[in-house]
Structure 1
Amino acid sequence: MKVKVLGAGREVGRSGFLVNGDGANYLLDYGVNLGRNPQPPLHVMPKEVDGIVVTHAHLDHSGYVPMMYVSGGCDVYATPPTFDLSRLLIEDMLRLEKDAHPFGLPEVNRMYSHAVEIGYKQKIRHGNTSFELRDSGHVVGGSSVVVESENKKIFYTADINLNGSRMLNEADLDVGKVDLLITESTYSQTTQMPRKESEEKLIEFANEILDQKGTLFIPSFSVERSQEIACVLKNAKFKHKIVMDGMALKVNEVILRYPDYLRDYKVFADAVHNTVWIKNHKERVRELDEPCVVISPAGMLVGGNAVFYLQELAFDKKNGIALVSYQGEGTPGRRLLDTGKVTIQGREKKAEAQVRQFEFSGHSDRNALFEVVKRIEGNPKVLTIHGDGQSCIKFAEEIHEKFGLDAHAPEIGEIVTV
């Protein structure tokens, strides 16, 4: 088999890998890096692809799949929740960035007319090449991919969380002997705070803010992070009012339809039903009349209802802002974290609210990624991808030193043969 790296080489985002086996070409993910100039993976001729596999809903993995339907029409495979969630995110991307992308809703609709819903461990075959999905523990319905052809096996982790979360099961690594491991490296150089400790510190901060009659704003990614925070608060028997807003509410509705993809459906359902769902701006204003916790996108404070909540809450010292999502370079969330300032209506102002960051990553950290490599059977070649340049390179060197495996950080356009 051959693998061509189309994106997410020595960078985070715009994932894409073209796997050529006996009788089939599979495209594993086709995402986008968002921003003023959206960056897709390398171009692929749709007629060269026999099947597209979407590992999970996040736009850096799913966002440019509709591009394959400008002139193409092959089947696209994913779990049912991945299809529902990715459609929400892709359509929202097109709504917010109307003319930034070379496709629109007609291509999105065409993509979904070719959607084939599959479950974990369901083998799909084209020619003499097959693939199947395994639970990645990253987001609801998220997957890693096993591709087999010519007595060779590739395991692509995509985004993986070895231990899962309060909502999600741990990752499934029971895949047998592997010849090529393609592993993410996002936090390969970072050791994260244990999740239990992060949860305790967040609850402590929330109680501190509410006890002084303030409101705590928790900007969160709409897919999974918002819901996980609601589960954390519910588990702690948090006694104050919790408000949920924005796209997180649509995500709640999707996830409620898929109990089989959750660690404990009852815990999740109780947590989200225990919150106040904001339906309009009038309710948004009314609910802030008394102290509460507000969980709302966007996680990096880029647009969404975050602008309203910042304007209302950031300039009173009795309030708090808890950052629980990754804060990318150049985002308002990162600026708030680094400088303590927010920009409202074009003017930069000093935030008076207490700002703290808590680690709730959906990715495996350094120790967990080493454990992933350790638990993979066989003597595989290893490609370290989906991390900043130095993280990928350093992680490959460490894998070679620690396990004696042939590991390297591939560049975009590189072709690897197994």
Structure 2
Amino acid sequence: MAEIKVTPLGAGQDVGRSCILLTIGGKNIMLDCGMHMGFNDERRFPDFTYITKTEKLTDYFDCVIISHFHLDHCGGLPYMSEIIGYDGPIYMTHPTKAICPILLEDYRKIMVDRKGEKDFFTSDMIKACMKKVVTINLHQSIQVDDELEIKPYYAGHVLGAAMFHIRVGQQSVVYTGDYNMTPDRHLGAASIDKCRPDLLISESTYATTIRDSKRCRERDFLKKVHDCVDKGGKVLIPVFALGRAQELCILLETYWDRMNLKVPIYFSLGLTEKANHYYKLFITWTSQKIKETFVKRNLFEFSHIKPFDRAYIENPGPMVVFATPGMLHAGLSLQIFKKWAPVKENMIIMPGYCVAGTVGHKILNGVRKLEFENKQTLDVRLSVQYMSFSAHADAKGIMQLISHCEPRSVMLVHGEAAKMGFLQSKIQQEFGVDCTFPANGQTITIPTKHSISVDVSLSLLKREAHLASLSPPDPKKRKVLHGALLVKGNKLQLVEPSHAFRELGLEEHHLRFTCTVTVEEDGSINQTADKIYQLIRGKLKECPVQYSSDGSITVSDVLIKVSGDEDTKHILVSWSHQDEDLGSYLLQLIRTEYTQT
């Protein structure tokens, strides 16, 4: 029995630092290589010593797959490839390759230039890492080597995000990365073939959440923003550069237009231009509506949303600001938050998930007095609102994917342990499949069962088709093929026994079975033989039946002979071992006919 092994180095009962080790069919694959936003020490990256104690990463891994450009999925890539040392192929989609180095460089600047972090990757390392990337198109099957095949599918979530179907021989795994089963204003819903993998590795960020109506959420969001600025307050919306930012920008732009509002809306300087550039470049990855309207009007060119300058932080009066990053762990969003937090008229709206350890996570959990690394304290008096515009699948979406994909087993990653446990019981109860959620460093072994492919000879299939004409096949029952199994090289063949004997140079011995039915019937032997001939012809319309002058009937290799006198007839049925099904059928047919009469 074959098996698949999975070990999370990150995202095991945790959100952040996604890094899953997969062993399938003797191949080792790394699924994502992220960083943890909640740590600023060695815990920020996956623990590669799990492998490097015994082997070099390049020798160990056959390939690395990156699902999308969010730093908790790709942030550890330059560290892994340039500092730890990995020279093998790194697979990602075209949008991910384009956007990934920009976000890595932005984060590097924050951590090194502003915070003085050491032991961090450099700009040159990011460039060197990206040279190792192999881009892959949606639905394009890539042969990594003679045995390992990978194929990406649309995941929604962010521009370029992909789920990956990984196959070695008959074993297969689907890794979702982050995905969204609901279409929105700028991206479509995730979709994948009904591929029935041995294992589905699914994110479970919102394992226990079933979101309310999207329209209600949007209405609530717009009301909160409008009420706050109407009273002279400032609204901070921490976002990541690409993804929810564009979704909420389209929403506010449309609302400001409709309501004829003049309150300024700002977006982090430079990022709007970059985002627009990549959405134009990869327009085929966006939603159907954006693709359809793009020629007439680019929805990402906003008239109400302007670039933000740091000097505006001190400006009086109401404003709405989109600032990065989304979890308040560093950068402009944290700087603005520190300035606006003490004023109770202001508001912060957190539109997505925040990893434990980040400022965003702390304020969402009710912390109203914050302490920072320089021993600075901050009183949080502004209104803290959480509105889930996250582009992750909710519990309903996860169940929907499982239902469509039909995996033999499920593994949950990228979620909180308690919530995963709840979803695990739901999955096992509804689908009757095993479901696990390993912790970081814990290895789960998934046994796999597979049938062995066998070539079947044409003559054998013809004989089976001939036998199938005896009675309609039952699709619910397995079909038994009678033949000889030959092993030739690395192939298995099912052939006629006579063919197998010839191949092996052996003499074939024939075994025959004979049974006699005695019946009381008036008339001549020929009359009885003719009656049986007509009976067989009526039942086996597609089957050649020979009726000899001596009164014997031959069907394939089955012989039927009638003997006896005017009162008693002896009907002999004889068949070879090769025609056991046909012989048994004809014998039963004759017995039934004479039992009924």
TM-score under structure 1 normalisation? 0.89
**What is residue 53 of structure 1 aligned with on the other side?**
65
Is 1:210 the counterpart of 2:210? The answer is no
Provide the residue aligned with 2:173 in structure 1: 154
Q: After superposition, where does 1:95-174 map in structure 2 within 5 Å?
A: 95-98=109-112, 99-101=117-119, 103-125=121-143, 126-174=145-193
1:340-394 CA-partner distances (Å, limit 9, x unpaired): 45669854444443332211112111122111211213x5111111112222333
Cα 1:60–1:355 change in 2 (3 A) is closer
- Describe the shift of the 1:14–1:305 C-alpha distance in structure 2 as closer, same or farther (beyond 3 A): closer
How many Å separate the matches in 1 of 2:436 and 2:338? 46
Q: What CA distance in whole angstroms lies between the structure 2 residues aligned with 1:155 and 1:166?
A: 27
Q: Equivalent pairs: percent with the same residue?
A: 24
My pick for the range that moved more, 4-13 or 243-252, is 243-252
| Larger displacement relative to structure 2 (361-370 or 288-297) | 288-297
Q: Deviations over 1:257-293 (max 9, x none)?
A: 21111112557943453344436434x358x455332
Q: Paired residue for 1:36, among 24, 37, 40?
A: 40
Matched, 1:292 2:319: yes
Distance of 2:301 and 2:353 partners within structure 1: 22
Please report how far the alpha carbon of residue 230 of structure 1 lies from its aligned counterpart in structure 2 after TM superposition.
Answer: 0.3
2: CA distance between counterparts of 1:119 and 1:277? 34
Match of 2:7 in 1: 5
Tell me which of 90, 99, 116 is aligned to 1:85: 99
Q: In the TM superposition, what whole-angstrom CA distance separates every residue of 1:44-69 from its partner, at most 9, and x where no partner exists?
A: 42222232211001122111122124
Matches of 1:335 and 1:151 in 2, distance apart?
A: 46
| Aligned positions of 1:15-414 closer than 5 A | 15-22=18-25, 24-34=27-37, 35-37=39-41, 38-43=43-48, 44=51, 45-66=57-78, 67-70=80-83, 71-98=85-112, 99-101=117-119, 103-125=121-143, 126-236=145-255, 237=258, 239-240=260-261, 241-246=264-269, 248-249=271-272, 250-263=274-287, 264-265=290-291, 266=293, 269-278=298-307, 280-282=309-311, 284-285=312-313, 288-337=315-364, 338-341=366-369, 347-377=376-406, 379-411=407-439, 412-414=441-443
- 1:122 is paired with a residue whose SS is coil
Q: What displacement does 1:109 show? A: 1.7
Judge conservation of contact 2:267–2:308 (CA < 8 Å) in 1.
no
Query: Does the Cα contact within 8 Å between 1:328 and 1:334 map onto a contact in 2?
Result: yes
Contact 2:16–2:355, Cα closer than 8 Å, also in 1: no
Q: In 2 relative to 1, CA 357–341 (structure 1 residues): closer, same or farther, beyond 3 Å?
A: farther
Structure 2 unaligned segments of length 5 or more: list them: 52-56, 449-597
Gap change, CA 1:143 and 1:352, over 3 Å in 2: same
Give the superposition deviation at 1:224: 1.0
Q: Distance in 2 between matches of 1:258 and 1:17?
A: 28
CA contact (8 A) 1:397 1:408 kept: no
Query: Comparing both chains, which one has the higher relative contact order based on Cα–Cα distances under 8 Å and sequence gaps of 6 or more?
Result: 1
Could you list the runs of 5+ residues in structure 1 that have no partner in the other structure?
Answer: none
Deviates more, 1:349-358 or 1:257-266: 349-358
Question: Aligned partners of 2:121, 2:300: CA distance in 1, in Å?
Answer: 37
Partner amino acid for 1:281?
R
3-state DSSP of counterpart to 1:97? helix
Deviation at 1:239, TM superposition (A): 3.5
Answer yes or no: is the 8 Å Cα contact 2:174–2:200 preserved in 1: yes
**Deviation, structure 1 residue 132:** 0.9
Deviates more, 1:347-356 or 1:103-112: 347-356
Paired residue type of 2:282 = Y
Paired AA for residue 267 in structure 2? M
CA 1:39–1:175: 2 relative to 1, 3 Å: farther
Instruction: Report the more deviating stretch, 263-272 or 8-17.
Output: 263-272
Contact 1:384/1:393 (8 A) holds in 2: no
State how far apart, in whole Å, the 1-side matches of 2:442 and 2:354 are. 28
How many Å separate the matches in 2 of 1:343 and 1:40?
Answer: 24
| Mapped contact 2:58–2:86 kept (Cα < 8 A) | yes
The AA in structure 2 aligned to 1:57 is: F
* Residue equivalent to 2:17: 14
Give the superposition deviation at 1:398. 2.3
Paired residue secondary structure (2:237)? strand
How many equivalent pairs are there?
415
Secondary structure (helix, strand or coil) at the match of 1:397 reads: helix
Conserved? CA contact 1:137–1:165, under 8 Å: no
In terms of mean alpha carbon deviation, does 225-234 or 213-222 score higher?
Answer: 213-222
1:136-174 CA distances to partner (integer Å, 9 max, x unpaired)?
A: 111111111101121222111111111132221100132
C-alpha contact (below 8 Å) 2:253/2:302 kept by paired residues: no
Q: Give the secondary structure class of the aligned counterpart of 1:394.
A: helix
The letter of the residue matching 1:4 is V
**Contact 1:81/1:255, CA 8 A, preserved across alignment:** no
TM-superposed CA distance for 1:307, in Å, is 3.9
TM-score by length of 2: 0.64
Contact 2:276–2:300 (CA under 8 A) maintained in structure 1: no
Q: Distance in 2 between matches of 1:178 and 1:64?
A: 28
Cα pair 1:120 1:134 within 8 Å, conserved: yes
- For the structure 1 residues 254 and 342, does the alpha-carbon distance in structure 2 shift closer, same or farther, using more than 3 Å as the test? farther
Match of 2:477 in 1: none
Q: Is the 8 A contact 1:246 1:297 kept in 2?
A: no
Q: Report which stretch shifted further, 267-276 or 110-119.
A: 267-276
